[in-house]
């Protein structure tokens, strides 16, 4: 059985109400709860007076209006997007129109890959209309009065995924790369299990004091939590290899074997994550696939 992760729970929020998370960070929740968003999208406001908004969220007019109300009388200098799923990026455009702030992100959906996308969507789906005003590269720094955000390109969940490190508080805004209430779905071809794990290790090496995901509560026990996430992925890999060793060959059947009892609405996302594991195992030369790795392929252990 895959390693247990000490998931965190939080009570239902009051939507549209800002909360002070720290001296430099405020948060306001979008009313879009669901099986992939927990209680909804948490939009972060960094700084005071001149501020950056991280993950403005879904195209929900009342949420955009709530953000605008919170920052009224302040200057929004940056609108930052961790990645292009429909629960993170669509509100960036309307917020930019209301505040005059430019939108920053790694790039459009799929921009971190050279291969095409297969069109099958899970989770909240892709925001294919998104285009930032300015593209951000790994290591770039964004500054305001009393705050500095370092850009970390963290492909894995999506190829264009970014995290933002608030240097003054040693805090990471992790988007969907790390969540406290759930594991992260890795959905090929835009998702990549090997890169996801590499970036988890890189974040663990940074020694952050706090991680603030876009969905769910903040993570304070950072090192032990990240270790549990990493152990869980390698245990899941072992379960997949064990299923292959029993002659189970399809993604559908492997998923049923290793995710016994999973809710039916989560099964398609679990299949995508199993496929991500299988693609990595093929790349490592541990598993073979016919014809090529896909949801319809058959897999064998060497």
Are 131 and 252 in a shared domain? no
Beta pairing, strands 287-290 & 298-301: antiparallel
- In order of 5, 30, 42, 82, 219, the CA distances from 223 in angstroms are 12, 29, 23, 22, 10
- What's the CA gap between 164 and 149, in Å, rounded? 6
Are 46 and 120 in a shared domain? yes
| Contact between 52 and 80 (Cβ < 8 Å) | yes
Both structure tokens of 219: 């993570």
Q: What is the CATH number of the domain that holds 282?
A: 1.10.10.10
- pLDDT tens digits, 8-38: 999 999 999 999 999 999 999 999 999 999 9
pLDDT of residue 115: 56
> Which domain-ending residue is among 230, 250, 270?
230
In a domain, 140, yes or no: yes
Count the domains in the chain.
2
Beta pairing, strands 103-105 & 75-80: parallel
| 3-class secondary structure, 174 | strand
Are 219 and 269 in a shared domain? no
Return the axis-axis angle of helices 267-283 and 222-245, rounded to nearest 10°.
80
Beta pairing, strands 171-175 & 25-29: unpaired
Three state DSSP letters for 49-115: CEEEEECCCCCCHHHHHHHHHHCCCCEEEEEECCCCECCCCCCHHHHHHHHCCCEEECCCCCCCCCC
Both structure tokens of 28: 């306001």
In a domain, 9, yes or no: no
- pLDDT tens digits, 32-71: 999 999 999 999 999 999 999 999 999 999 999 999 999 9
User: ∠ at Cα 53 (51, 58), nearest 5°?
Assistant: 160
Are 189 and 289 in a shared domain? no
- pLDDT tens digits, 204-214: 999 999 999 99
What pTM was computed for the model?
0.95
CB within 8 Å of 60: residues ≥ 6 apart: 30, 31, 32, 91
In a domain, 256, yes or no: yes
In a domain, 14, yes or no: no
> Which domain-ending residue is among 230, 265, 281?
230
Residue 262: domain span: 234-301
In a domain, 1, yes or no: no
Are 145 and 54 in a shared domain? yes
Instruction: Please list the ranges in the chain whose pLDDT falls under 70.
Output: 1-3, 114-124
Are 219 and 70 in a shared domain? yes
């Amino acid at each position: 059985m895959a390693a247990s992760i000490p998931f965190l729970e939080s009570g239902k929020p009051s939507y549209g109400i800002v909360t002070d998370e720290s001296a430099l960070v405020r948060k306001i929740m979008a009313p879009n709860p669901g099986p992939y968003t927990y209680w909804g999208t948490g939009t972060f406001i960094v700084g005071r007076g001149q501020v950056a908004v991280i993950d403005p969220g879904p195209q929900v007019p009342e949420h955009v209006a709530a953000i605008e109300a919170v920052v009224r009388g302040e200057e929004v200098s940056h609108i930052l997007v961790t990645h292009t799923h429909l629960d993170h990026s669509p509100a960036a455009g309307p917020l930019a129109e209301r505040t005059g702030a430019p939108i920053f992100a790694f790039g459009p959906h799929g921009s971190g890959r050279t291969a095409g996308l297969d069109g099958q969507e899970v989770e909240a789906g892709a925001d294919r209309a998104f285009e930032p005003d300015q593209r951000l590269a790994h290591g770039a720094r964004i500054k305001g009065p009393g705050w500095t955000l370092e850009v970390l390109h963290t492909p894995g969940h999506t190829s264009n995924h970014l995290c933002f490190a608030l240097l003054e508080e040693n805090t990471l805004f992790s988007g969907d790369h790390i969540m406290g209430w759930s594991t992260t779905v890795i959905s090929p071809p835009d998702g990549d299990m090997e890169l996801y794990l590499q970036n988890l290790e890189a974040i663990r090496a940074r020694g952050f004091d706090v991680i603030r995901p876009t969905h769910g509560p903040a993570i304070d026990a950072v090192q032990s939590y990240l270790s549990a996430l990493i152990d869980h992925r390698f245990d899941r890999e072992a379960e997949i290899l064990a299923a292959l060793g029993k002659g189970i060959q399809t993604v559908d059947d492997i998923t049923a074997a290793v995710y016994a009892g999973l809710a039916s609405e989560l099964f398609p996302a679990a299949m995508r994550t199993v496929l991500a594991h299988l693609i990595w195992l093929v790349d490592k030369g541990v598993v073979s696939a016919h014809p090529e790795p896909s949801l319809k392929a058959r897999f064998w252990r060497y």
